[in-house]
Structure 1
Amino acid sequence: MWQVSHWFRTALDAVLPPLCLCCGAQVAEPGALCGRCWGSLRFVSAPFCQACGHPFDVDPGGAECLCGRCMAEPPAWRRARAVFCYDDASKPLLLRFKHGDRLEGAPAFGRWMARAGAELLVESDLIVPVPLHRWRLLARRYNQAALLALAVGREAGRPVAADGLRRLRRTPPQGHFSREERRKNVKGAFAVKPGLDVTGQKIVLIDDVLTTGATLGECARLLLKNGAATVDVLILGRVVLSQP
């Protein structure tokens, strides 16, 4: 059986050689990055803010340090963890996955996220992705956050409610919105799926990118309002912001 699978894989690679998920260069295996793209990614590692996962340039000392933004205004969730910084190097990787139908990267992303969020997942009862509005889902044909959630769930052995949250209205893109405009844009935009009981559940909320945290914060507040015990956040990319 292994020989048949290996032969088929070899034949397929000869016709359709696997390409780097980020730049499109040929690589050895599907769902991989070339050495150049891998080396350009800035992976998030300690020290970082325990609440939002924002990396520190200098180690502030102590295991439970918070960034200035989280000290001034604590996020709705408990902890957030990210795989890498969302910057010029990682942007093509995420855009290809999010808008370019490069879905073969989902298993690798799931492994990376499960590793980055191991301390969150080991305590979790349920994984829930940030939802897309039905019209945007129809246009894109898939919810990238749901694909990541399913991949993380497989890696961590945790249940996933892929449609646990619903987006009630189609909010405009937030790329050029200020922090406060983003909050207003998503306020009241989500609902828990009818019949899903999150009472007492420790939930890990999944999305592809964290910028200001407006969307994730609104989803976290909704889950807590509906009885969730805790909400943690796990994302693939984390925008690095200037601290106040």
Structure 2
Amino acid sequence: MWHTYNCQYSMQYLCQEDRYYGNLSFYNITSTSMAFNWTPAPGPIDSYSVVVTSPAGSSQTITVGNVTETVVTGLSSSSVYTVQVFPSKCNIQLDPANGSACTAPPSPGWITVTNVGTNFVSLVWDAPSDMSSNSYSFLITYFSSYWGQSGSTNSSSFSATVMNLRAGSMYIFNVTTVNPTCGLSAPSSIAVYTNATTKILLLNVRMSSNRPCTKEMMRTLIGNRLNLLFADIYWTLGRMEQRCYGTPL
């Protein structure tokens, strides 16, 4: 049957329940929060309701309006959360987009150096918080910017000794918690110098200057140069024999 309408006036919108096949994408996951977005539902959407369910079965519902991303905070570490996003259209709740993600494990606590040699460093660290009921281990990575040396080792306890390092060099150590289900935590870090072996470097420096030749000037200029050459190596400037010849060049 045909109906004739006056097209000078707007007609009422016909609201229908569209099938929604949404996908969730998770990012910026920490030990207590996670961010995620989802594909938009078809048609004019009033709002989205986000339902986050913990492993214990408790849920929280967040209404986020007509946006397609949000951040959920106040979560427990090393836990798999189920997320459902329900679009609302004309007071009708459509089928949800479904997904799940695991929060990161907590970071190790304070790191302490217990022993240092010319080629090794021994570390201990405090246990991560909120990990009593979870399985975990630790990954220790290290790097020396001067030598370009890097490596890693694993530990099932709260300590580790890293071997085969270079003497008199600064190393950055990062300790991260590893959970077999939820991956890596944010690292805890410490910078440590290995002990130096005694090596004497004899320098014969000839310098030109318009200023009077003084031991203080020579020590400053040589020290500045050595800082550039040995930025990440422990060194000291020992006895310096000064010889000034005539008028400085």
Q: Report the structure, 1 or 2, having the larger strand content.
A: 2
Give the TM-score normalised by the residue count of structure 1.
Answer: 0.19
Which of the pair has the greater relative contact order for Cα pairs under 8 Å at 6+ separation?
1
Structure number having the greater helix percentage? 1
Query: Which of the pair has more CA radius of gyration?
Result: 2
